[in-house]
Amino acid sequence: MATTFTEQVLQRLTDLGLSLPQDPPPPAGAYVPFRLHNGLGFLAAQVSGYGPTSLLGRIGQDLTLDQGQTAARTAALNTLARIQQALEGFDRLTGLLHVAGHVSSADDFWDQPAVLDGASDLFAAALQERGQHSRTAYPHARLPHNISIELEITFAYRP
């Protein structure tokens, strides 16, 4: 019996020892978590979390590169959970298009692309070819609520 793409993605995550969060972090303001329009999907900022167990602070000051990659990976899991919610699974997902990664960085930290590899590697592992994307890395002195990572995602889907 053939498996659906959704089942394949969930199995790949299980094989990595991961699962999608049931309740990804909510929007931090007066906006919706996603918008779908004519085959394009836009996710509001995806983060690793806001609470005391989240990896908060500036990478290169409060957090190490490895911790930053872990935060990016967690933000990627939250991203996948939002896509699953928006599309009611992954079967209609045709691919990620662009990831804009915002990294809260110490003044002398310059390795934002390596931090964001934590997210990109997870997208590729879970979604395979559909997880390939273009990407931009932005350093910031601070991000809202002291978060370390914020991902903006644009994806394509079959309407």
For every residue of the chain, DSSP letters joined together read: -PPPHHHHHHHHHHHTT----SSPPPPSSSS-SEEEETTEEEEEEE-S-SSTTS-BS-BTTTB-HHHHHHHHHHHHHHHHHHHHHHHTSSTTEEEEEEEEEEEEB-TT---HHHHHHHHHHHHHHHHGGGG--EEEEEEES--GGGBSEEEEEEEEE--
Query: Does 71 fall in a domain?
Result: yes
> Is residue 9 scored above 90 in pLDDT?
yes
Q: For the chain, what is the domain count?
A: 1
pLDDT in tens, 80-118: 999 999 999 999 999 999 999 999 999 999 999 999 999
Query: Does 20 fall in a domain?
Result: no
| Predicted local distance difference test score (pLDDT) of residue 50 | 87
Query: Does 109 fall in a domain?
Result: yes
Query: Does 18 fall in a domain?
Result: no
| CATH number where 59 lies | 3.30.1330.40
Query: Does 28 fall in a domain?
Result: no
Query: Does 22 fall in a domain?
Result: no
Domain range spanning residue 93? 5-9+33-157
Query: Does 78 fall in a domain?
Result: yes
